[in-house]
């Protein structure tokens, strides 16, 4: 496979993929209840069947696939091996892979997480990684540096859709700025003068309603969970994200995955969401 760095930084590759395939991210979330809905056992064989089916059904048509690492890790080394294969096959089919691992630590530990997911050639190398900045944004520096060097990207938790997140993300600092707004400002600084899109994005929930008090113009992508099962719809995107909507990557998991294990049904669901999202963004 061609070197990632030779293909350009993550932001540029994501912009191309969104323009060509539509701005849809499909999650790969093989939790026990969904495996059961597919008629699969909650074991490594079921995990492998589930993940392979999703990749084969949609990796050649969606911009982004986002495996949730925890659902693979719970099976130990054999589950991680399935995750490695899924990442490899998804990227080979043309999808960008965002590893949803939400890693966050300090110093050498953060550097080791970065090596695991952002060093080109690593078994779990992904186009981007979700990270938690709540040991201080500066703690992410090893991941930022590794991503820059390998042409990868980051999605930093900023304004998440879970209700518990507000006690941290909406807290106000001594200077009067909210914590979530501070994370957005850090990302804007990372993306200065990048074109057509920076590689350092934010995670901002599509279920949060009016975000007009936040500056979402970070010149980078916004990963937006909450479409489908959590209640948000593609039509909500312009209202929630305003002028930044063209850089939003809406994530849909159960809304697509519940149509499995039939590959044709998975493809139809992904195509439908992609078209609905494209229509909503274009009309904004």
Which residue is it, tokens 């590794």?
146
The DSSP bridge partners found for residue 217 are none
Which residue is it, tokens 């701005």?
23
The DSSP bridge partners found for residue 153 are 128
Decide if 102 is catalytic: yes
C-alpha dihedral (71, 72, 73, 78), degrees to nearest 10: 150
Annotated catalytic residue within 66, 85, 102, 141: 102
Instruction: Please state whether beta strands 25-28 and 64-67 pair in parallel, antiparallel, or not at all (unpaired).
Output: parallel
* CA-to-CA separations, 127 to 99, 118, 178, 228, in angstroms, rounded: 8, 7, 29, 24
Length of the chain: 284
Helix (H) or strand (E) holding 101: strand 96-103
Which residues have CB under 8 Å from 243's CB, separation 6+? 216, 217
Give CA 88 to chain center in angstroms: 16
Gap between the Cα atoms of 15 and 172, Å rounded: 33
Gap between the Cα atoms of 143 and 132, Å rounded: 11
Contact between 190 and 220 under an 8 Å Cβ cutoff? The reply is yes
Gap between the Cα atoms of 276 and 284, Å rounded: 13
Which residue is it, tokens 């909507």?
245
Which residue is it, tokens 């932001």?
11
Residues acting as catalytic residues: 102
């Amino acid at each position: 496979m061609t070197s990632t760095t030779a293909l350009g930084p993550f932001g540029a590759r994501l912009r191309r993929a969104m323009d060509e395939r539509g701005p849809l991210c499909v999650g790969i979330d093989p939790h026990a209840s969904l495996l059961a809905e597919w008629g699969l056992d909650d074991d490594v064989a079921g995990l492998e069947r589930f993940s392979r089916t999703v990749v084969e059904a949609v990796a050649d048509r969606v911009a982004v696939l986002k495996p949730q690492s925890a659902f693979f890790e719970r099976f130990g080394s054999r589950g991680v091996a399935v995750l490695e294969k899924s990442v490899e096959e998804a990227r080979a089919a043309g999808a960008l892979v965002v590893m949803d691992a939400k890693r966050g630590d300090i110093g050498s530990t953060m550097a080791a997480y970065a090596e695991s997911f952002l060093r080109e050639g690593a078994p779990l190398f992904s186009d981007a990684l979700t990270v938690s900045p709540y040991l201080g944004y500066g703690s992410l520096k090893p991941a930022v540096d590794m991503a820059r060097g390998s042409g990868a990207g980051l999605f930093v938790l900023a304004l998440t859709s879970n209700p518990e997140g507000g006690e941290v993300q909406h807290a106000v600092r001594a200077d009067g700025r909210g914590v979530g707004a501070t994370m957005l400002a850090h990302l804007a600084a990372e993306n200065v003068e990048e074109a057509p899109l920076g590689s350092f994005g934010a995670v901002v929930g599509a279920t949060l309603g009016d975000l007009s008090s936040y500056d979402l113009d970070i010149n980078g992508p916004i990963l937006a969970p909450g479409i489908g099962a959590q209640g948000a719809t593609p039509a909500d995107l312009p209202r929630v994200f305003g002028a930044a909507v063209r850089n939003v990557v809406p994530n849909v998991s159960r809304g697509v995955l519940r149509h499995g294990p039939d590959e044709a049904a998975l493809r139809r669901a992904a195509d439908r969401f992609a078209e609905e999202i494209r229509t909503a963004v274009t009309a904004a």
